[in-house]
Amino acid sequence: MADDDPFENMLAQMDRAEEFADVTHGVFERLKHPERTLKVTLPVELDSGDVEVFKGYRCQFDSARGPFKGGVRYHPSVTQEEVEALAGWMTWKTALVDLPFGGAKGGVICEPKDLTDNDLENLTRRYTEGIRRLIGPETDVPAPDMNTNPQTMAWMMDTYSMYEGYSVPKVVTGKPLELGGTPGRIAATGRGVSIVTERLFDYLENDLSEASVAIQGFGNVGSHAARMLDDAGARVVATSDVSGAVYDPDGLDVSTLGAHVDAGGLIEEYTRGDLRVEDRTRWDEGQAISNEELLTLDVDVLIPAAVEGVITNDNADDIRANAIVEAANGPTTVAADEILSERDVQIVPDILANAGGVIVSYLEWVQNSQEFSWPLETVNAELERRIGSAFDETIERYDEGAIPDLRTAAYTLALERTARAHEYRGLFP
Ligand code: GLU
């Protein structure tokens, strides 16, 4: 098996759980195949005057437990197999945190950095037109993922609504507040990462305030996780973006770094002392290191919060962290998992660690259904309750003793829940 094929990795993660899950072989086989994947061709006239033909996908993996749910990513490395793997992971994620949703994912092959805002709007509208036959407030509800954001969701919502002839806010989540978004959605994934990291420390009877943390990726997820872990007393010693990584064993000044990045700054500029902010709380530029070096730092917790497939056969032996909390989807390959599991490195799997985003998406969808909005405190309390009980259930399964690692315990629960839904519903016709 190619170590870097995300769909093969997802199937192998399922296979590891099969012997422990109370799921018949027939249903298990059914769960290995997406229900459908739509491929769309998207010609867009760019601001440059050129017409470029983009390719996009929407994979609907499984809907036994409810409407399909999952983000849309814009990235040059998007492939059909990757979108299908991500849609599978959404299915196991929604089942594990017990949301009444199935799993889906969308992707467009593009380099957003090379596109103007106008190009991105046109591409988003064309993509929405392409997949509008599949999506809908009760059928399949997209949300942000890599390189998409509340503005992208606003364009999707508007395009879908124009065809319907009336406003349909509930067709997407992760919307701006003014269009029916919920407070707390932007920070939700990072908040969930921070909550499960704290829970893991409690479980291991370790003190988070004495822990060092390295976070690969300082985008929406990594930066919010960094701020919350910093607030919780942990020492965030390293983080990174595409330009490079920064390391300070005494702990980074997360708030200055956050303000610099919020103002459009790169980590590389930060390590050079080229800051975009005037107000520094406690600035020390730190040491410039590479993204690869960040992964193998001697820290208590490693949080991959960028792309999939970064912890592999090639570097698993060099990982020195005692625990890994997967903020990204699919950052650890199965080959690496086996190596790390043998070394008793605790991994909080992606389908649990990064579920905060889809949990708060669900809360947004519920508020849209109720035509009623909740305050931030209610949203955050409900997020904590839901991700906390999924964490406890996963630990309970793992503590029974037979299952080798937390990912397999989480998969066992998710597969059983999805299989039960299939069994109750039966086959039609
Ligand atoms: N893209 C996020 C994820 O991978 C959120 C999906 C959603 O909110 O539907 O979990």
- The percentage of the chain sitting over the pLDDT mark of 90, rounded to a whole number, equals 95
Residues 313 and 194 in one domain: yes
**pLDDT reading at 121 higher than 70:** yes
Q: Which atom of ligand 1 is nearest to the CA of 89?
A: 4
**pLDDT reading at 171 higher than 80:** yes
Task: Supply the pLDDT for residue 297.
Answer: 98
Dihedral Cα 257, 261, 266, 272, nearest 10 deg = -30
Helix runs in 290-375, H state only: 291-295, 334-342, 350-353, 356-370
The secondary element (H helix, E strand) that includes residue 220 is: helix 220-231
Mean pLDDT (the chain, rounded): 96
Q: Which atom of ligand 1 is nearest to the CA of 361?
A: 8
Q: Which atom of ligand 1 is nearest to the CA of 329?
A: 4
pLDDT single digits (tens) 172-195 = 999 999 999 999 999 999 999 999
Q: Which of 289, 322, 353 is the last residue of a domain?
A: 353
> Which residue would you say has higher pLDDT here, 3 or 8?
8
Residue (of 307, 278, 228, 291) closest to 236 by Cα position: 228
* 37, two tokens: 């994947």
Residue (of 15, 99, 192) closest to 417 by Cα position: 99
Q: Which of 167, 196, 230 is the last residue of a domain?
A: 167
The CATH number that applies at residue 289 is 3.40.50.720
Phi and psi at residue 329, to the nearest 5°:
-85, 130
Q: Is residue 242 part of a domain?
A: yes
- Assign 257 to helix, strand or coil: helix
**pTM of the entire structure?**
0.97
- Assign 309 to helix, strand or coil: coil
| Pairwise CA distance, residues 194 & 363, whole Å | 19
Task: Supply the pLDDT for residue 282.
Answer: 65
Residues flanking ligand 1, CB < 6 Å: 69-71, 143, 145, 173, 329, 354, 357-358, 361
pLDDT band at 46 (very low <50, low <70, confident <90, very high): very high
Residue 170: active-site member: no
**pLDDT reading at 367 higher than 80:** yes
Pairing of strands 244-247, 301-304: unpaired
Which of 93, 105, 170, 175 is the catalytic position? 105
Pairing of strands 287-289, 244-247: antiparallel
Task: Supply the pLDDT for residue 2.
Answer: 56
The CATH number that applies at residue 94 is 3.40.50.10860
Task: Supply the pLDDT for residue 279.
Answer: 65
Cα 40 to ligand 1 centre (Å):
21
Task: Supply the pLDDT for residue 3.
Answer: 74
| Mean pLDDT on 285-311 | 95
- Domain count of the fold of the chain: 2
**pLDDT reading at 283 higher than 70:** no
Other beta carbons within 10 angstroms of residue 354's beta carbon come to 28
Residue numbers of the domain that contains 344: 188-353
pLDDT single digits (tens) 138-161 = 999 999 999 999 999 999 999 999
Residue (of 427, 395, 308, 394) closest to 92 by Cα position: 394
Q: Are 403 and 409 in contact (CB under 8 A)?
A: yes
pLDDT single digits (tens) 234-272 = 999 999 999 999 999 999 999 999 999 999 999 999 998
pLDDT single digits (tens) 53-92 = 999 999 999 999 999 999 999 999 999 999 999 999 999 9
- Residue in 84, 189, 383 to alter for ligand 1 test, most ligand atoms within 8 A of Cβ: 189
**pLDDT reading at 42 higher than 80:** yes
Residues 154 and 236 in one domain: no
Residues 224 and 339 in one domain: yes
Q: Which residues are bridge partners to 214 per DSSP?
A: 238, 302
